Chain A
C-alpha cells in the first residue's frame, strides 16, 4: 500500500496554480499552461510504458475533481487593495483575526450563524431555518426536505463564498455575480440600495436572459425563499468583511481588531456588532425603498411619445447614445468595466498584475458592453415598469447611469428628465427592435459636434 501510494505520489504533481507556484514546475512537463493554471505531467511519465501512461491519465482525470472541504475564502482582493493604499502589509495575525471574527459572527458554510445584533431586526432578512436548508452539503431526508440547496444549484457558478468565482465562472460572460460587494444590478430600489425580497425572487424565478443565470422556476417556493435568504447572508457577510478589512487598515501598527483579553474588549465587540448592524439595516430598509412608479398617461399619443423618447435618447441630457451607440446596437462605449472588475484596477497594469497574482480564483478583467437595444432582450425584465426602473435608477455596478429626475416644482430650464420623459424613453426603447435600422437617427447637429 505504501509502495502504491509512493508511486502515485511520484506521478501526482499536477497543479492548477499559476505555473510559478507549481511545485512541479521544474521537474514536470507542462501540458497545459495558461493564466492562473498549469498542468504538469511529472518527467517520469516519459519512461512509463504505454499502459502506465494510460493508467496515469485515468488517475489524473480522477484527481481533477478532487474534493476539499467547503470553506469561506478571504477577500484577498480587497485586502490587497487596502495594502496598496497603505503601502504596508496586513500581518498574518490581522488576517487570522478577520477570519475569526467573521466565523464568530456568521459561522461556516456547513453551519451558518445569524449574528445577534441588538435592536436590529436581523430576522427580517436572515431566517435561521432558511439558512440551514440552503447551506451545508447536498442531501435530503426521507420526506424529501432538501439541504445544501446553495451548493446544489448555485455554488458551481457563484462560488461557495459567493465570490462569483465558482468552477464554471471563467467560461461565462458576464461573470456570475460576486455578492460580497452587496451590489446588485436588477432591482427596484434607487442607486446604492439593496434589492428587495421581491427583486431577488424575480431574479431566481425568471433567471437573467442572455446570461448564464438560470431560471429556477422548478424549485418549490420554500426552497426559493431559502436561497434568497442565503444570497442575502453571503452578501451581508461579504460586506461586513469589507468593512472589517477597511477598519483593519485603519489600525495603528500592531493593534488588533479583536483584543484577546483586557479592558476595552467588550466595547470592541460592541463596535464590531455595530458595523454588522449598519450593513444589515440597509437590507432591512430596502423593502421600503422601492422606487414608486406613477403609470404613464394611458391616453398619450404613442407615436409622439416615441418620437420624444428618441429625441431624448440622442439628446444631451439623457445621452443614451454615448454608450448604446448611434444605432442603439450597444456599440457606443465598449471600453468600460463593471464595478466588480474595477476592483482589480484593470487600467493600471502593475496593479492588475498584482491582483491577478493573488491566485486561482481571480478572474481576468473583461469589458462590459452596453446592451444592444435592438434585440428587445432585457435582462432585468421586459415589462415597461422594469425598463422604467432601469432608466430611472440606472443599473448598479455598471456604467449605466440613473436619470436625474426633476421634481415637479423645479424651476424651468433645470437640466433633467421628468417622469413623462422617462416613460417616453421606455416607449422608444420598446419600439427600437421594430425601428428600421437604416433610418438615420435625428441627432442635433450642435450636440453631435460636442459629443465627438
Chain B
C-alpha cells in the first residue's frame, strides 16, 4: 500500500471518530454538571490540580473527596482523554487518507480540542464567567463537528449512491442546515439560562427564557418540516430515515424534559400551581432528581444536535441535483461544523 493510495478500506478513522463522539458526549454532560454544581472553581489552578500534574492527582482524593472536586477533576481527565483520541484520529486519517480536505478536517478537530481546553483553563485562571460561557458554547459545536466526522468516515458514506432528486433538493438542504443552526443556537441560549449572572436584572433572565421558548418553536417547526420532506420525497434514501425520525422523537422528549426542568427548579407556573396535584410541590435544591432532570435536558440537547448534523451531512451527500458535481467533503464540513 503506497502512501498515495486512498486506503478507504481502513475502519480506523471511523472507529476513532465514533470513539471521539462517545467520549465527547459525557464530556459535555459532565461539563453541564460542573455548572449545575457551580464546581467551576473547585480546583483553583490549571493545568495542574492543586499543584499536582493532571494525571498524577491522587485518585483517592479525587474519587472520595468533595463532590465538586470530583466532577471538576473528572471533567479535566475526560477532556484530556478526548484530546488523546483526537490525536489518534489525526494520525489514523493521516495514514489512511491523503485527501487534503479530510486531513484538514482531522486537524481542525484537534485544533478545536486544544482551543477548548485552553478556554477552560483560562476560565479557571481568570475566574471569568464570560469565558465559561464561550467554553460552554464551543463544547456542543465541537460535539456537532465530531458527529459530522463520524458520519463522513463511515462506510455508508463511501458508496456514493447519489439519489437523483425528484423535487429540488435545495429545500431539503436548506431546512436541514437551518435545523442544525437553530438547534445549536438553542443550546447556546439554554446555556445562557444556566449561567445568567446573579447581578442580572429579572428582565435579562426573562428575555433569555422567552428567547429559549421562541427558539423551541422555531426548532419544532424546522424539525417537523424536515421530517415531512424526508418522508414525503426521499422515502427511498434509507440512511436518512432513521436519523430524521429520531430527531423528531427526541425533540418531543426534549420539550417534556424542558418543562420538567422548569418545574423541578422553579415550581409549577401559576396557572397550574392552583390545582391540588401541583399545590404541595416543594422544590429540592441540588437534589439528585433535580440535577438528573436538568442534566438530561442538557444532554438531550447535544443528542438532538448530533442527529440534526447527521441528517444534514447525509442529505448533502446523498441527495443531489444530477448536474451538480460532487463537492469536496470540506464543503460539507463547513456546513456541518
**In the complex, B27 has a CB within 8 A of chain A:** no
* Cβ 8 A contact of B201, one of A70, A214, A360: A360
Contact call B206/A207, Cβ cutoff below 8 A: no
Contact call B199/A137, Cβ cutoff below 8 A: no
Contact call B199/A212, Cβ cutoff below 8 A: no
CB neighbors of A among B64-108 (8 A):
65-69
**In the complex, A171 has a CB within 8 A of chain B:** yes
Contact call A377/B280, Cβ cutoff below 8 A: yes
**Chain A residues closer than 8 Å to B198, beta-carbon distance:** 70, 151, 155-156, 159-160, 166-167
Contact call B282/A209, Cβ cutoff below 8 A: yes
**Chain B residues closer than 8 Å to A32, beta-carbon distance:** 207, 210
Chain A interface helix/strand/loop/mixed: loop
**Chain B residues closer than 8 Å to A17, beta-carbon distance:** 203
**In the complex, A293 has a CB within 8 A of chain B:** no
CA distance A260 to B195 in the complex (A): 42
* Cβ 8 A contact of B204, one of A16, A57, A62, A151: A16
CB neighbors of A among B174-194 (8 A):
181, 185, 188-189, 192
B199 to chain A: closest residue by CB: A68
Contact call A167/B42, Cβ cutoff below 8 A: no
**In the complex, B237 has a CB within 8 A of chain A:** no
Contact call A140/B201, Cβ cutoff below 8 A: no
Chain A nearest CB from B133 CB (Å) reads 6
Contact call A214/B196, Cβ cutoff below 8 A: no
Chain B nearest CB from A388 CB (Å) reads 20
Contact call B203/A170, Cβ cutoff below 8 A: yes
**Chain A residues closer than 8 Å to B50, beta-carbon distance:** 142
Stretch at the interface among B253-261, B271-279, B312-320, B322-330: B271-279
Chain A nearest CB from B311 CB (Å) reads 19
Chain B nearest CB from A19 CB (Å) reads 11
Chain A nearest CB from B118 CB (Å) reads 18
**Chain B residues closer than 8 Å to A57, beta-carbon distance:** 185
* Cβ 8 A contact of A64, one of B39, B204, B284, B287: B204
Contact status of A61 and B129, CB under 8 A, knowing A36-B203, A218-B285: no
Contact call A214/B283, Cβ cutoff below 8 A: yes
**Chain B residues closer than 8 Å to A36, beta-carbon distance:** 201-203
Contact call B207/A39, Cβ cutoff below 8 A: yes
Contact call B285/A216, Cβ cutoff below 8 A: yes
CB neighbors of B among A144-180 (8 A):
144, 146, 148, 151-153, 155-156, 159-160, 165-173
CB neighbors of A among B263-295 (8 A):
266-267, 269-270, 273-274, 276, 279-287
Contact status of A171 and B266, CB under 8 A, knowing A62-B137, A137-B41, A215-B285: yes
**In the complex, B200 has a CB within 8 A of chain A:** yes
Contact call A214/B282, Cβ cutoff below 8 A: yes
**Chain B residues closer than 8 Å to A304, beta-carbon distance:** none
**Chain B residues closer than 8 Å to A151, beta-carbon distance:** 198
Q: B43-81: contact bitstring with A at CB < 8 Å (1 yes, 0 no)?
A: 110000010000000000100011111000000000000
**Chain A residues closer than 8 Å to B203, beta-carbon distance:** 16-17, 34, 36-37, 170, 360
CA distance A422 to B210 in the complex (A): 47
**Chain A residues closer than 8 Å to B112, beta-carbon distance:** none
Contact call A153/B285, Cβ cutoff below 8 A: yes
Contact call A372/B282, Cβ cutoff below 8 A: no
Chain A nearest CB from B271 CB (Å) reads 10
B204 to chain A: closest residue by CB: A16
Q: B223-248: contact bitstring with A at CB < 8 Å (1 yes, 0 no)?
A: 00000000000000000000000000
Contact call B284/A142, Cβ cutoff below 8 A: no
Contact call A168/B281, Cβ cutoff below 8 A: no
Contact status of A65 and B65, CB under 8 A, knowing A156-B198, A167-B198, A360-B203: no
CA distance A379 to B252 in the complex (A): 34
Contact call A217/B284, Cβ cutoff below 8 A: yes
**Chain A residues closer than 8 Å to B41, beta-carbon distance:** 137-140
**In the complex, B208 has a CB within 8 A of chain A:** yes
**Chain B residues closer than 8 Å to A146, beta-carbon distance:** 68
B186 to chain A: closest residue by CB: A61
Contact status of A214 and B285, CB under 8 A, knowing A140-B42, A155-B198, A363-B202: yes
Contact call A377/B266, Cβ cutoff below 8 A: no
Q: Which of A61, A62, A160, A206 has the most CB of B within 10 A?
A: A61
CA distance A66 to B207 in the complex (A): 13
Chain B nearest CB from A74 CB (Å) reads 14
**Chain B residues closer than 8 Å to A155, beta-carbon distance:** 198
Chain B nearest CB from A172 CB (Å) reads 6
**In the complex, B38 has a CB within 8 A of chain A:** yes
CB neighbors of B among A237-261 (8 A):
none
**Chain A residues closer than 8 Å to B134, beta-carbon distance:** 62
CA distance A184 to B44 in the complex (A): 38
Contact status of A138 and B38, CB under 8 A, knowing A62-B133, A214-B282: yes
Chain A nearest CB from B183 CB (Å) reads 13
**In the complex, B29 has a CB within 8 A of chain A:** no
Chain A nearest CB from B10 CB (Å) reads 36
**In the complex, A27 has a CB within 8 A of chain B:** no
Contact call A207/B202, Cβ cutoff below 8 A: no
**In the complex, B250 has a CB within 8 A of chain A:** no
Contact status of A206 and B206, CB under 8 A, knowing A16-B201, A65-B196, A172-B267: no
CA distance A143 to B200 in the complex (A): 31
**Chain A residues closer than 8 Å to B161, beta-carbon distance:** none
Q: B129-141: contact bitstring with A at CB < 8 Å (1 yes, 0 no)?
A: 1100110010000
Q: A30-45: contact bitstring with B at CB < 8 Å (1 yes, 0 no)?
A: 0010101101000000
Q: Which of A172, A210, A360 has the most CB of B within 10 A?
A: A210
* Cβ 8 A contact of B205, one of A167, A210, A217, A219: A167
Contact call A65/B199, Cβ cutoff below 8 A: no
**In the complex, A67 has a CB within 8 A of chain B:** yes
Contact call B185/A58, Cβ cutoff below 8 A: yes
Report 11 cross-chain contacts, Cβ distance below 8 Å, ordered by A residue: A37-B201, A64-B192, A139-B127, A140-B39, A142-B50, A166-B198, A207-B284, A209-B280, A210-B267, A210-B282, A218-B287
A binding-site residues for B, Cβ under 8 Å: 16-17, 32, 34, 36-37, 39, 54, 57-58, 61-62, 64-71, 137-144, 146, 148, 151-153, 155-156, 159-160, 165-173, 206-219, 359-361, 363, 372, 375-377
| 20 additional A-B residue pairs with CB within 8 Å, beyond A167-B204, A360-B203 | A16-B207, A34-B203, A37-B203, A61-B211, A62-B192, A64-B211, A67-B199, A70-B198, A142-B65, A143-B66, A153-B285, A165-B201, A167-B200, A168-B202, A170-B206, A207-B284, A210-B282, A211-B267, A212-B267, A361-B201
